[in-house]
Amino acid sequence: MADLINYYAFKKDEWKDLYKLQTVPLTKDSLKQIKAFNDEISMQDVRDVYVPIVHLLDLCTQSFNEWQKTKTHFLSKEDRKVPFIIGISGSVAVGKSTTARLLEVLLSRYFEDKKIQLITTDGFLYNSAELNRRHIMDRKGFPESYDMKSLINFLNEVKSGKSNVLAPVYSHDVYDIIPDKFDVIDQPDVLIIEGINTLQLPSNQQIYVSDFTDFSIYIDADDALIEKWYLERFEKLMDTAFQKPSNYYYEMAHKDRQKAIQKAKEVWQEINLPNLLENIKPTRTRADLIIHKSDNHIIDQIFLRKY
C-alpha cells in the first residue's frame, strides 16, 4: 500500500503486543448480538485488535479532555463538556456497523463512568420522496444523496454540548427515513458516528463531518472481497429479513431467486463499487487508524497514522 507512507504498519501479532492487559469484557453470546449480518468477528480479534484500540482511544480521550481544559483556561472561559467524536468509515458490507457497535460496547464496559452513544449517518440521507424529486434515487449513498447541512448542524450542536440533540432514523427494513422517529444524543462523553461519508469532503460544503471528529477509523478490504461479502449478505437476507411483508425487498425475495441475485450484482457494479472507488476509498488516507481485513473478515493488518 504505497499510499500509506505516513502510517505505522502492524501485523496483528505486533499490534496485540502494544497492550498486554487483554481482558475482554464480552462473552461469545454478547459478541453474537453485536455482529452485523454475515460479518464474522472472533473473540481472538476482539482480544488482539479491538482491546488495544480501546486502550488507545482511552489515551486519546484523556489527552483531548486535558486540552479542552487548557484551552478554556487560556480563554478565561468556564469549563464545559465537549464530547470526543469517533468517525468510522468504509465501504458498504465491509463491517463498519459491527466495528461501531463493538467499540460502543467495549468502551461502555471498560469505562462505566462514561456515557457512550452511537449513530449512523444513514439517518441524514434524504428520504425517498426527496431523492425521487431530485432524480437521484439511483445515486443513493453518493455524497449528493445526503442532507449534509442537517448533518453538520447536528454535529455542531453535539460538539457544542447541547442536550437532547435529535438525529433522524433510517430503516433498512423499509429502505427509507422513518417519519417522526429520532435518536436522542444527550451530552455523551464519546459519540461514535458510523457511515460511508464520515471522511468525505463534499465540494459544496465549507465545513465537513471530519472537522468534528477527533479520531477516525477506516475499515478496509480488497474490492473483490467486499463484493463477495455484499452478495453473501444479500443471499442470507433473502431468507430472513426480506421475508417480512414490510420489507422493501419482500416482493423480490418471493420471485425468481437468480434474477434477484443478478439484480444485486448489478447494484454492486453500477452503484456501490463506483461509490467506493470515487468517494469512499479515496478518503482512506484521511483516517487515523485503518483496519484491514482478509478472507472471512479476519483482520490481518492495522495502520496507525504517524502524524
**128 annotated ligand-binding residue:** no
Q: Which three cell numbers stand for residue 241?
A: 429479513
User: What is the structure's pLDDT at 237?
Assistant: 86
Query: How wide is the angle at C-alpha 208 spanned by C-alphas 119 and 288, nearest 5°?
Result: 75
Q: What H or E segment, with its residue span, contains residue 193?
A: strand 190-194
Q: If pLDDT is split at 50, 70 and 90, which confidence band does 8 have?
A: very high
pTM: 0.92
Q: What are phi and psi of 219, to 5 degrees?
A: -95, 120
Mean pLDDT within 93-99: 93
d(CA 22, CA 183): 33
User: What is the structure's pLDDT at 204?
Assistant: 60
Q: Which three cell numbers stand for residue 191?
A: 459519540
Mean pLDDT within 37-56: 83
3-state secondary structure 237-289: HHCCHHHCCCCCCHHHHCCCHHHHHHHHHHHHHHHHHHHHHHHHHHHHHHCCE
**11 annotated ligand-binding residue:** no
Q: If pLDDT is split at 50, 70 and 90, which confidence band does 38 have?
A: low
**92 annotated ligand-binding residue:** yes
Q: If pLDDT is split at 50, 70 and 90, which confidence band does 34 have?
A: confident
Q: Tell whether the model's pLDDT for residue 256 goes beyond 60.
A: yes
Q: Which residues contact 170 (CB under 8 A, 6 or more apart)?
A: 120, 122, 123, 125, 176, 177, 178
Indicate the range of 222-231, 247-256, 287-296 predicted with least confidence: 247-256
**76 annotated ligand-binding residue:** no
Q: Tell whether the model's pLDDT for residue 76 goes beyond 80.
A: yes
User: What is the structure's pLDDT at 55?
Assistant: 92
**97 annotated ligand-binding residue:** yes
Q: Which residues contact 70 (CB under 8 A, 6 or more apart)?
A: none
Q: What H or E segment, with its residue span, contains residue 54?
A: helix 51-74
Q: Which three cell numbers stand for residue 82?
A: 465537549
How many domains are there within the chain? 1
Indicate the range of 197-206, 264-273, 294-303 predicted with least confidence: 197-206
What is the tally of helices (H) and strands (E) in the chain? 11, 9
**150 annotated ligand-binding residue:** no
**95 annotated ligand-binding residue:** yes
**233: alpha, beta or left, given left = phi > 0 and alpha = psi -120 to 50?**
alpha
| 259, 90, 143, 83 alpha-carbon torsion, rounded to 10° | 140
Query: How wide is the angle at C-alpha 166 spanned by C-alphas 95 and 209, nearest 5°?
Result: 55
**123 annotated ligand-binding residue:** no
Q: Which three cell numbers stand for residue 14?
A: 505486533
Q: Which three cell numbers stand for residue 83?
A: 464530547
User: What is the structure's pLDDT at 39?
Assistant: 66
Q: Tell whether the model's pLDDT for residue 202 goes beyond 80.
A: no
Mean pLDDT within 28-48: 74
DSSP label of 50: I
User: What is the structure's pLDDT at 242?
Assistant: 82
User: What is the structure's pLDDT at 240?
Assistant: 82
CATH number at 142 reads: 3.40.50.300
d(CA 192, CA 185): 11
Mean pLDDT within 229-250: 86
Percent of the chain with pLDDT over 70: 94
d(CA 163, CA 117): 13
- What mean pLDDT value characterizes the chain? 91
What range does the domain containing 195 cover?
2-305
Residue 105 near residue 30 (C-beta atoms within 8 A): yes
Q: Which residues contact 173 (CB under 8 A, 6 or more apart)?
A: 241, 244, 246, 247, 248
Q: What is the sign of the dihedral through the CA atoms of 69, 72, 77 and 83?
A: negative
pLDDT tens track for 135-158? 999 999 999 999 999 999 999 999
Percent of the chain with pLDDT over 90: 70
